């Protein structure tokens, strides 16, 4: 049984901390490439109160080059293994590769987070065979070209139609709906105004009855509004949660946990609930 299920049952927003093991990642500048540095970062996030650690070995930044699954495997597996060696923290694997899904699951990962929503050949079957929960993210186009000229007639409708199609594909492969998490894909083939709209209207993605994940931390839409990426990202996280997000994917775990604790205390009008 995945460690995600009991966490989601707590019915409070969960914080997913980003652990990049790519040499070219946008915010971390390659700091976390070596397994030992990656594990140090993971331990720090655990101390800071993270609920889920999202391990990613493929850069999906706009314009990024494709990574072979061998390369991705070599980056990610030592890190998953090392985290699992000394912690029961919930581990998410950020991948589109069937091989990486299977091997991560074998090493004790709990969630498959796929920015391509299982559209790669063999992915949906691989994910189904692991029995793990899956996050289906909306992306228009591919990372290399998605920011060229994003165009939507009705973005909310288009994302919901995409979710319906991917939910059906998963269901056909034997992934039941109670194992799915949906993510509108902030920054993936969208203009800044699209990104702001999908957070403001997040509630319209609730119609599928599934938990929602949002990742806006340190992304360029936030950077266009404010020079303070930390405050901007935490503010975005709070508003996303207020509009129904269940999981927030962030770089700044301690600050996001603090902000969400205050929000929860206000919503519950109790201090005890947080102690
Ligand atoms: C460079 C630019 C490196 C952007 C990495 C990124 C999401 C995700 C990413 C998200 C889910 C980042 C992104 N973003 N998975 N993976 N949702 N489910 O900022 O929004 O971390 S990669």
Q: Which of 213, 249, 252, 253 to mutate to test the pocket of ligand 1 (most atoms within 8 A of CB)?
A: 249
pLDDT of residue 26: 47
SS (H, E, C) the chain: CCCHHHHHHCCCCEEEEEEECCCCCCCCCCCCCCHHHHHHHHHHHHHCCCCEEEEECCCCCCCCCCCCHHHHHHHHHHHHHHHHHHCCCEEEEECCCHHHHHHHHHCCCCEEEECCCCCCCCHHHHHHHHCCCEEEECCCCCCCCCCCCCCCCCHHHHHHHHHHHHHHHHHHHCCCHHHEEEECCCCCCCCHHHHHHHHHCHHHHHHHCCCEEECCCCCHHHHHHCCCHHHHHHHHHHHHHHCCCCEEEECCHHHHHHHHHHHHHHHHCCCHHHC
Domains, the chain: 4-215+245-251 (3.20.20.20)
- pLDDT per residue rounded down to tens, the chain (275 residues): 789 999 998 889 999 999 988 775 444 454 456 788 899 999 999 999 999 999 998 876 666 667 888 888 988 999 999 999 989 999 999 999 999 999 999 999 999 999 999 999 999 999 999 999 999 999 998 777 777 778 999 999 999 999 999 999 999 999 999 999 999 999 999 999 999 999 999 999 999 999 999 999 999 999 999 999 999 999 999 999 999 999 999 999 999 999 999 999 999 998 865 44
Which residue has a Cα nearest atom 3 of ligand 1? 61
pLDDT of residue 112: 98
Ligand 1: residues with CB < 6 A are: 18, 25-26, 59-61, 94, 113, 115, 135, 137, 183, 185-186, 213, 215, 219, 249
pTM over 0.85: yes
């Amino acid at each position: 049984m995945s460690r995600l299920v009991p966490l989601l049952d707590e019915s409070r927003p969960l914080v997913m901390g980003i652990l990049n093991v790519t040499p070219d990642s946008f915010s971390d500048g390659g700091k976390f490439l070596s397994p030992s540095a990656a594990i140090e970062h993971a331990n720090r996030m655990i101390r800071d109160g993270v609920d889920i650690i999202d391990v990613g070995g493929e850069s999906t930044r706009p314009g990024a080059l494709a990574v072979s699954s061998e390369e991705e495997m070599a980056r990610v597996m030592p890190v998953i293994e090392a985290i699992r060696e000394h912690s029961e923290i919930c581990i998410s694997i950020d991948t589109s590769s069937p091989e990486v899904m299977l091997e991560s699951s074998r090493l004790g990962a709990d969630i498959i987070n796929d920015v391509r929503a299982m559209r790669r050949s063999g992915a949906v079957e691989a994910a189904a065979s692991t029995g793990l929960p899956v996050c289906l993210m909306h992306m228009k186009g591919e990372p290399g070209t998605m920011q060229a000229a994003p165009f939507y007639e009705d973005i909310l409708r288009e994302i919901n139609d995409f979710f319906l199609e991917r939910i059906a594909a998963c269901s056909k492969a034997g992934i039941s709906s109670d194992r799915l998490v949906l993510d509108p894909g902030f920054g993936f083939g969208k203009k800044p105004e699209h990104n702001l709209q999908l957070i403001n209207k997040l509630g319209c993605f609730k119609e599928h009855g599934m938990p929602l994940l949002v990742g806006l931390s340190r992304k360029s839409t936030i950077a266009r509004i404010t020079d303070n990426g930390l405050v901007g990202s935490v503010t975005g996280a709070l508003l996303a949660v207020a509009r129904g997000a269940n999981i927030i994917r962030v770089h700044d775990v301690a600050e996001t946990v603090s902000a969400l604790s205050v929000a929860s205390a206000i919503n519950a009008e109790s201090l005890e609930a947080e102690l």
